[in-house]
Structure 1
Amino acid sequence: MSAVQSLIAAHRRGENVGLYSVCCSNEQVLLAAMDVARKYDTALLIEATSNQVDQFGGYTGMTPAQFRDYVLRLARTHDFPVERVILGGDHLGPNAWQKRPSGEAMAHARDLIAAYVAAGFHKIHLDCSMSCADDPAPLPDETVAARSAELARIAERTANEAGLPPPVYVIGTEVPVPGGEASLAGGLAVTSPEAAARTLQVHREAFSAPDLLPAWERVIAMVVQPGVDFDHSDVHRYDPQAATALSDFIETQPRIVFEAHSTDYQTEVSLHALVRDHFAILKVGPAATFAYREALFALASIEHELLPEAEQSHLVETLDRCMVERPQHWRNHYRGDEQTLRLLRRYALSDRCRYYWGEPEVDAAVRRLIGNLQRHPPPTILLSQFMPEQLAAVADGRPADPLALVRHRIFGRLAEYARACAHNRAGKRGENETSSAEILSKR
């Protein structure tokens, strides 16, 4: 049993524990996630999406093997135990090639799965829910399941040939788009127990071939819609009563839990409730880079007060100019007049500006900002104005270095997930607490 399977098994035994997944490639986010995992004694699941990382490089420019090396290098330099890092692949399937014919898209998807598994990614989300250019829309559940089983067969063979532990799988047909950003205008429907049951059944049948039966035993979770999502300016909060029937359904099924996508910006109370109600794998991504952006903008405000204009980084203006000049990452997502677009580019919850931090001029502005504030440390009065939570941490002895302040801002967001997932036994809050490290040690 792998560490992930042990954790899911503990949840199914009645322990109110879960697994949070940090879906991000941002260096400061990953370093903050390591700080969180260290403080709360949890495993650290880091996932790359099929948009971020693929056999051609994705938008990060990294293949799965390069992403693995990048994460492990960060762990070593940050003195975080590499054995506590779990790598996952999110939305693995034809997603990046869905505008092409299904045969071509699935050929790329097969290569994608092989690349991820060969690189040591252990948790594999099989997502074949999208229609390709020659497919009907929506895609029938049977087709989704058959394609997922085809990719699982590739994953099994790749792991065996590489001498790696076999992967664990997440399935599901009611899958939010990568990165969230659902429209909340018409409300949000919770997956029905009937739909969840059908998803399980069609996948069980698709995995019924003798060579796939062992893989089916390692399906740990199913993606459903528990009634949580966000768009550019609003958040649909979790309503436990609306998800009661779905939560009751999973209790009748052996071994598996639900995986909840787009949990960004939920309250900590809601995150605890989600884990309690068997949405035991919580995905977070844009909220972490949103916190990164908030921290950098706060530092830019401090810089504006401290330094002459000619010495400033002008980070906020540089980022916005870059987004305007290269709008491919946001123009199909944001709508409105020029003032609305300006606000969305900078502050939208969907955080499309996360795609621009690696642009040379933006990266240079960030480096100048950090360098300026390392040479001219922010005084208490400005930290109080723009980063009061970080001021309190500095007063408690945390470093005042600007990058440490950025990580602390991100830490605050991710720590909510760690506390929700490393809790105590269901129904006995405050008693019999079991840390994730203790759970993982029972392998």
Structure 2
Amino acid sequence: MSNFLKGLAAARRAGRPYGIASVCSAHPTVLRAALRRAATGEGPVLIEATCNQVNQFGGYTGMTPADFIAFVEAMAVEEGVARQTIIFGGDHLGPNPWRREPAASALEKAAGMVEAYVAAGFTKIHLDASMGCVGEPVALDDRTVAERAAALCAIAEETAGRENLPAPVYILGTEVPIPGGADHALDVVEPTASDAARETIAVHREAFARAGLSDAFERVIAFVVQPGVEFGSDNVVAYDPPRAADLSALLDEEPALVFEAHSTDYQTQEALAALVADGFPILKVGPGLTFAYREALYALDLVASEIVPGYGDRPLARTMEALMLAVPGFWQGYYHGDGTALKIQRHFSYSDRIRYYWTRPEAEVAVSALLSALEGVRIPETVLHQYLPVLAAGGAGCAQDILIAAVDQVLAIYDRAAANRP
């Protein structure tokens, strides 16, 4: 399936652009929705794990790269998805999880992470060494970033050769929005300047050549840039093609490359299709998927409160509020305002930092109680129409199917945009 990614640039040059959604989530329901869609589709499914989420020490999910692939593969068997249909990607692989350490130790751990990802079977590798470590500037210069990326690439190449695995394809560059969205409202986001992107590409090409990695650079399929898309806690900056025209035109000078667009969550289908057509065909989405999951869960919490005797008054939402107040580290510093504003953001923010709490035992118990309460219960169409009107027309189904359908509605927008079809 790596040929699918390698063909992105050629397809754009030929006037027949296509794209792919990059599903950046470890949530079981999100992954199941993506795999279930892949089981009925024609193209591959791209599933990515990030450096903080999954690494050789477990990350915040507790999974190593090998664990993550095994987790997804087991689900794929259940959904009838062939292994060769799945492309596994590693996102922002570099020193970011250890940037509060000296550069030497952070980069040593980053090398171990890259090795673990490649050895596990990840074939799309985003190398990101842009962040400074202890005693360094927050943002490093292009040359230092490129040299460190080349050193990590050498580890990836050696690992693939040693393990007799397919040679990875690479994503380089790092001009992306704040992970999880901005922490303040934005009216506009400036796209990466074409001259800056041109320099970044040139510096990386030179660094790879100096490191004897020119062959690996031939497998660089995309650079990460900022096309001018972003989302904050309660607003979304939409893609504006004219603003990114100069950046898009740079690809005419680099016919083997495309751009990767991060934080495309909440963009319209029209905006996503324009991104694909303009040379940003790898569409990263994560919080937008877990936002849809949370939205459906909270709706079902209300449904159960209405129709299941003894369930209580929104116990799931109450549990999540208590949990986020007791363990505030995942949202404090990202949300701002008075008490009411903070409560709204904890539950309903586009940044969706509530997604970090779904694997906590308290949340899992509350979700399980909700699904158990609705098991075997026929949800009247009128009640479903009240709380989930978009899904009511398709029939209720079981609660788990409703959750998957909610996520699938978002994935369907990406699929239509990536294929440039209505």
Q: TM-score, normalised by structure 1?
A: 0.92
Shift of 1:280: 1.1
Q: CA deviation at 1:44?
A: 0.2
Counterparts of 2:371 and 2:188, CA distance in 1 = 42
In structure 1, what residue type is equivalent to 2:70? D
Q: Output the aligned Cα RMSD.
A: 1.6
Residue deviations 1:210-244 (CA, integer Å, cap 9, x gap): 63111100000001010001111110100011011
Q: Is the 8 A contact 1:173 1:199 kept in 2?
A: no
| Residues 49-68 of structure 1 mapped to structure 2, 5 A cutoff | 49-68=50-69
Which residue number in structure 2 is paired with residue 433 of structure 1? none
Structure with bigger RCO (C-alpha 8 Å, 6+ apart): 1
8 Å contact from structure 1 (residues 182, 229) kept in 2:
no
2:63 aligned counterpart, secondary structure = coil
1:419 maps to which residue?
A: 416
Q: Please name the residue that 1:23 is paired with.
A: 24
186 and 299 in structure 1: CA distance in 2 versus 1, 3 angstrom threshold: closer
Residue 218 and residue 182 in structure 1: after superposition, are their counterparts in 2 closer, same or farther (change >3 A)? farther
Q: Distance in 2 between matches of 1:340 and 1:180?
A: 17
Equivalent residue number for residue 390 of structure 2: 389
The offset of 1:384, in angstroms, is 1.1
CA contact (8 A) 2:185 2:234 kept: no
Q: Give, in angstroms, the shift of residue 348 of structure 1.
A: 0.3
1:180 aligns to what SS in structure 2?
coil
Task: Report the CA distance between 1:331 and its aligned residue.
Answer: 0.8
Give the residue type in structure 2 aligned to 1:299: L
Secondary structure of 1:86's counterpart equals strand
**1:11–1:18 CA contact under 8 A, matched in 2:** no
Deviates more, 1:371-380 or 1:120-129: 371-380
Report deviation, 1:311.
5.5
Give the match for residue 354 of structure 1: 355
Do the aligned partners of 1:247 and 1:278 also contact (CA within 8 Å) in 2?
Answer: yes
Amino acid in the other structure paired with 1:78: E
Contact 1:40 1:419 in 2 (8 A): no
1:91-170 matched pairs, under 5 angstroms: 91-170=92-171
For this pair of structures, how many residues does the alignment match? Answer: 421
**When the two structures are superposed, what TM-score results if normalisation uses the length of structure 2?**
0.96
1:293 and 1:154, CA in 2 relative to 1: closer, same or farther beyond 3 A?
same
Which of 398, 402, 412 aligns to 1:401? It is: 398
Task: Please list the CA deviations of residues 193-222 of structure 1 after superposition, one character each: whole Å capped at 9, or x if unmatched.
Answer: 100100001101110036311110000000
Give the corresponding residue for 1:5: 6
182-191 vs 66-75, which moves further: 182-191
CA distance in 1, matches of 2:275, 2:311: 49
1:255 aligns with 2:224: no
Percent of aligned pairs sharing the same letter: 46
CA pair 75-87 structure 1, distance change in 2 beyond 3 A: same
Question: SS state of the match for residue 211, structure 1?
Answer: coil
Q: Which segment drifts farther, 180-189 or 221-230? A: 180-189
Note if 1:329 corresponds to 2:330. yes
The separation in 2 between residues aligned to 1:362 and 1:182, in whole angstroms, is 25
- Where does 1:219-230 land on structure 2 (aligned, <5 Å)? 219-230=220-231
Distance 1:84 1:337 in 2: 47
Distance 1:107 1:210, change over 3 A: closer
Report the counterpart of residue 309 of structure 2 in structure 1: 308
Q: Partner letter of residue 327 of structure 1?
A: P
- Deviation at residue 170 of structure 1 after TM alignment: 0.5
Q: CA deviation at 1:8?
A: 4.2
Structure 2 unaligned spans of 5+: none
What is the distance in 2 between the residues matched to 1:371 and 1:112?
39
C-alpha distance in structure 1 between counterparts of 2:356 and 2:174, whole Å: 27
> Are the structure 2 counterparts of residues 386 and 249 from structure 1 closer, same or farther at C-alpha, using a change threshold of 3 Å?
same
Give the unaligned 5+ runs of structure 1.
425-429, 431-443
